[in-house]
Amino acid sequence: LMMHRSSHSLLSASAGFFFFLFFLDAEYQWKGPFYFIQGADPQFGLMKAWTHGDTTNGDDEWGEEIKLAEQAVQAINKLNPKPKFFVLCGDLVHGMPGTRWKKGQEQDLKDVLKNTDQDIPLVFVSGNHDIGNTPTRETIDDYCKNWGDDYFSFWVGGVFFLVLNSQLYFDSSKCPELRQAQDAWLDEQLTVAANQKCKHIIVFQHIPLFLSKPDEDDDYFNLDKSVRQEIMEKFHKAGIFSNF
C-alpha cells in the first residue's frame, strides 16, 4: 500500500501492527485484476443494545460480536490468493465517544484484528459511532490516535483508493474547518487522479451517498441531497463509479 494525506507523508496508527506499508513504485502500475475484502459495522456492543431496546446504554456486553469478528478474520486468513487488503467501513464499535464501554470495545476489536495475517493490511474508515453523529475536533483526534487518519488516499496495484470521513458531510457544525480541509484535500486528490490517468478509482466511506437512487429523499442513512449532488458531480467528473 502507498498512502497519502496532504499534511502527512505516512499514515500510521498508535497500534503499529495495523498498517503494513509497501513503498514500491509498482503500486502505481496496473498489472491486472486483484481483490480486497470490505467489511463494515463490527460495532461491538450493538447486539445486546438492540435486543434490549436500549441502543444508548445497553451495550455492556459484546461477546457475540467478538466471536463473529474472530470467524471473519479466520475466514480471511484462509483465502488463497490473499486479498490485497481488508477494509472496515466504519462503526468499529457501538459505544459513542465518551460513553462508558467504548474503550473496552475498541481494545477487544484490536485484539481480534491483530490476528489478521500480516500480509493483509488493514484499512479503517470512520463512522458515526466512532466520532459521533456531530463530530468535534476532539472526537476526530481521538479516533485518529486509535485507528489512523480519518481521510486519506492510497494506491494498490494501479488503483487509486480514497477514504473519506462521511460524518463531516452529515454534520460538521462543531468543526466546519475540518469539513473545509477535507473538501480542499479531496479536490487535490481528484486532480492527482486526473493527472495520473488512473484506470480505476474507488472510494470508501461510512454513510452512503444514497441507498437506492441518486435523487431519493434525505434520510438518516444517506447524505443530504445538496451535499450528495455536489459530491456525485465531482466523482462523475473524475471518472469515479465505485463507492463502497
pLDDT of residue 148: 94
Average pLDDT over residues 96-104: 95
Any alpha helices (H) in the chain, and if so which ranges?
46-51, 63-77, 102-113, 128-131, 137-147, 167-170, 176-196, 225-238
pLDDT above 60 (res 92): yes
If DSSP codes are grouped into helix, strand and coil, which group holds residue 202?
Answer: strand
Q: Give the span between the Cα atoms of 205 and 221, in whole angstroms.
A: 12
**Which pLDDT tens digit goes with each residue over 35-53?**
999 999 999 999 998 888 7
Which cell goes with 47?
447486539
DSSP symbol at 216: P
Which residues, other chains included, contact 63 with Cβ-Cβ below 8 Å and sequence gap of 6+?
none
DSSP symbol at 156: E
The band of 9, judged by pLDDT with boundaries at 50, 70 and 90, is: very low
pLDDT above 70 (res 241): yes
How much is the mean pLDDT over the chain? 88
**Which pLDDT tens digit goes with each residue over 102-119?**
999 999 999 999 999 999
The band of 24, judged by pLDDT with boundaries at 50, 70 and 90, is: low
Which residues, other chains included, contact 117 with Cβ-Cβ below 8 Å and sequence gap of 6+?
76, 77, 82
Number of domains in the chain: 1
Do 223 and 170 form a contact (C-beta atoms < 8 A)? yes
pLDDT above 60 (res 15): no
**Which pLDDT tens digit goes with each residue over 149-199?**
999 999 999 999 999 999 999 999 999 999 999 999 999 999 988 888 788
Q: What's the Cα-to-Cα distance from 27 to each of 118, 205, 242, rounded to whole Å? A: 18, 22, 19
Higher pLDDT, 6 or 127: 127
pLDDT of residue 99: 93
Q: What CATH code is carried by the domain that includes residue 113? A: 3.60.21.10
Please state the pTM of the whole predicted model: 0.89
What is the extent of the structural domain holding 154? 2-243
